[in-house]
Amino acid sequence: MSTGPVDPTTTPAWEELAALAAGFTPDLRGWFDDDAGRTASLTHQAGDLHVDLSKTFLRDDVLAALLDLAAQTGVVERRDAMFAGAHINTTEDRAVLHTALRLPADASLTVDGQDVVADVHEVLDRVGAFAERVRSGTWTGVTGKRIETVVNIGIGGSDLGPVMAYEALEPYHQDGLTCRFISNIDPTDAGQELKGLDPETTLFIVSSKTFGTLETLTNARLCRSWLLDHLPAGSDPEAAVAQHFVAVSTALDKVAEFGIDPDNAFGFWDWVGGRYSMDSAIGLSLVIAVGPERFTEMLAGFHTVDEHFRTTPAADNVPLLMGLLNVWYTNFLGAHTHAVLPYSQLLHRFPAYLQQLTMESNGKGVRWDGTEVSYDTGEVFWGEPGTNGQHAFYQLIHQGTRLIPADFIAFARPAYALADGDTDVHELFLANFFAQTKALAFGKTADEVRAEGVAEDLVSARTFPGNRPTTSIMAPELSPGVLGQLIALYEHLTFVEGAVWGIDSFDQWGVELGKQLAQQLRPAVSGDADVAAEQDASTQSLIRYYQEHRG
Ligand SMILES: O=P(O)(O)OC[C@H]1O[C@H](O)[C@H](O)[C@@H](O)[C@@H]1O
């Protein structure tokens, strides 16, 4: 893109939204009473996702102004530039093409002179073939035993997506094959995950886009030592590493330096951001667990929502509407955080995954041309599955003083259809979903509380103000395809927010300083007095505390 980003605060739509916010009093009870068609007009379909925005703070005038804001900040142009492979990641001068990872094989897209679709499918085919060898037992460990445990070593985008999807698709796992995930440089992580493993039946996947991440390389070396120390005496170390270690990276030269056979390495490209990479070869552990066919179904799900986002007119475009709604909450109504509450135990890692996706993408204080923003960006995403959260933090959402928009996610068909006598437990579960969104929207008035015979001095404590906005997302079931759709929905709404804010949602310079300082400090931790003396007083004192107590 040749022109700079628009400062959204200079647009007429921003001014209009500010004026609307000044006099804004949400009244979900009134809005529902006055407009029998509210739910129908604010419910949209994206692939299999049924998205009900009627309990949000959208009103006709707000929606119109938000759509104007999108138009005036060039969201659609930026979207089209992304899909076409323009270098919209300006600070790294890169294309942003995770959408190409899920293009069908007969699609065509040439970027920077390279046939991207052919490259993607060449790697996908290799990943699928390798996964089949592991699943069928034709790929064995060095002593000839079939693989029973796959350990993914990676962090950030090379961990959160694979582990989230592995958990989400648990009903599709192949029997007799388990995945584990090591991410943290805290040696406890590797210590716990390696516990009880049989080295002869364990395969390690070193997943790192850069193959330069301290945590991952440290854990990879640690696992290599563990493997060589625990295999039966006489095992050839080189053959052992060749059979028990594979890698996924964009830096295949560094993979070879580590000693992993290039034949057992799977590549991807710099136009795939780490937090957008789970549908590349980074998903290898998932492909092994659920099989290439299921993985292909998941990719098709991503593609369905990509197409929805790329082609659906603005008024029905779900990621666009959800992204704009979040801008309304964040910049005009003062929301700081956003809860994501899956009514699905299988999605228990989804909020953690979304934290990297949304917060690493949109936690920026300058626009993509380096100019400073004068408005809030990014939301703090957080959440836990329902109903657990209901018994923990929902209190604050119901009766606290803060505005916390929440996304509720549920599936009509359960993964495990269990009944307790006559009670269908999934129905009981869904009843909670419906009840919570209803209670949050409509609350309980003081008069309603009084009518229950509550003593007057307790009425205010037992009144629910309501007008707590929620978005309800439902789908028939948590299939691989639906999972792909759900992830793509959040990828694109994150994009929309970033585009309105004029920021580069695809870099992450903010994580670099800590990495550099850790390397500089490292000798001081081990006792180098000169390096310790260079530190600030607090850091010196903390290091001293460690040295006095390390035992
Ligand atoms: O895949 P890697 O290159 O090892 O990177 C792993 C992660 O670490 C980095 O510091 C970034 O913050 C993440 O965006 C990235 O996903």
Q: Where are the domains of the chain?
A: 29-88+295-501, 100-290, 512-550
472 pLDDT above the threshold of 70:
yes
Enter the tokens of residue 148.
Answer: 């029973």
Q: Which residue has the least CA distance to atom 16 on ligand 1?
A: 157
Catalytic residue among 15, 257, 293, 515: 515
Residues with Cβ within 8 Å of residue 535, at least 6 apart in sequence:
521, 524, 543
Query: Are the folds of 29-88+295-501 and 100-290 the same?
Result: yes
User: DSSP E strands: which ranges in 470-514?
Assistant: 470-475
Domain 100-290: assigned CATH number: 3.40.50.10490
Q: For ligand 1, what atom is nearest to the CA of residue 216?
A: 4
Percent of the chain with pLDDT over 90: 97
Q: Which residue has the least CA distance to atom 4 on ligand 1?
A: 208
Position 112 confidence tier, pLDDT thresholds 50, 70, 90: confident
1 pLDDT above the threshold of 50:
no
Q: Measured in angstroms, how far is the CA atom of residue 213 from the centroid of ligand 1? A: 7
What's the confidence (pLDDT) of residue 421? 87
Query: Does 385 sit in the ligand 1 pocket, CB within 6 Å?
Result: no
- Per-residue pLDDT reduced to its tens digit, 296-318: 999 999 999 999 999 999 999 99
Q: Measured in angstroms, how far is the CA atom of residue 159 from the centroid of ligand 1? A: 9
Strands 380-382 and 419-420: unpaired
Q: For ligand 1, what atom is nearest to the CA of residue 282?
A: 1
Distance from C-alpha of 249 to C-alpha of 126, rounded to nearest angstrom: 14
Q: Are 376 and 327 in contact (CB under 8 A)?
A: no
Active site residue 515: yes
CA dihedral 361, 362, 364, 367 (to 10 degrees): 100
The closest of 405, 404, 467 to 28, measured between CA atoms, is: 467
Q: Which residue has the least CA distance to atom 13 on ligand 1?
A: 156
- Per-residue pLDDT reduced to its tens digit, 342-376: 999 999 999 999 999 999 999 999 999 999 999 99
Q: Specify the length of the chain in residues.
A: 551
Position 420 confidence tier, pLDDT thresholds 50, 70, 90: confident
- Per-residue pLDDT reduced to its tens digit, 200-256: 999 999 999 999 999 999 999 999 999 999 999 999 999 999 999 999 999 999 999
The mean per-residue pLDDT over the stretch 324-347 comes to: 98
Indicate the DSSP class of residue 280: T
The mean per-residue pLDDT over the stretch 28-37 comes to: 98
Q: Are 467 and 457 in contact (CB under 8 A)?
A: no
What's the confidence (pLDDT) of residue 486? 98
Query: Does 360 sit in the ligand 1 pocket, CB within 6 Å?
Result: yes
Query: Does 281 sit in the ligand 1 pocket, CB within 6 Å?
Result: no
Query: Does 359 sit in the ligand 1 pocket, CB within 6 Å?
Result: no
Q: Which residue has the least CA distance to atom 14 on ligand 1?
A: 274
Give the number of other Cβ atoms within 10 Å of residue 527's Cβ: 10
Q: In whole numbers, what is the pLDDT of the chain averaged over residues?
A: 97
Q: For ligand 1, what atom is nearest to the CA of residue 157?
A: 16
ipTM here: 0.99
2 pLDDT above the threshold of 70:
no
Q: Measured in angstroms, how far is the CA atom of residue 506 from the centroid of ligand 1? A: 12
- Per-residue pLDDT reduced to its tens digit, 497-522: 999 999 999 999 999 999 999 999 99
Q: pTM of the predicted model, to two decimals?
A: 0.97
Please give the helix or strand (H or E) that residue 499 lies within, else none: helix 480-501
Query: Does 155 sit in the ligand 1 pocket, CB within 6 Å?
Result: yes
Query: Does 156 sit in the ligand 1 pocket, CB within 6 Å?
Result: yes
- Per-residue pLDDT reduced to its tens digit, 123-174: 999 999 999 999 999 999 999 999 999 999 999 999 999 999 999 999 999 9
484 pLDDT above the threshold of 60:
yes
Which of 155, 159, 284 maximizes ligand 1 atoms within 8 Å of its Cβ, making it the mutation to test the pocket?
A: 155
Q: Which residue has the least CA distance to atom 10 on ligand 1?
A: 511
The closest of 298, 296, 262, 268 to 280, measured between CA atoms, is: 268
3-state DSSP assignment of residue 348: coil
Which listed CATH number (3.20.20.80, 3.40.50.2300, 3.30.360.10, 3.40.50.10490) goes with 29-88+295-501? 3.40.50.10490
Which of 163, 164, 209 maximizes ligand 1 atoms within 8 Å of its Cβ, making it the mutation to test the pocket?
A: 209
Give pairs for 137-144: CB < 8 Å, separation 24+. Answer: 139/203, 139/243, 140/243, 141/199, 141/200, 141/201, 141/202, 141/203, 141/243, 141/244, 142/200, 142/231, 142/235, 142/236, 142/239, 142/240, 142/242, 142/243, 142/244, 143/200, 143/231, 143/232, 143/235
What's the confidence (pLDDT) of residue 325? 98
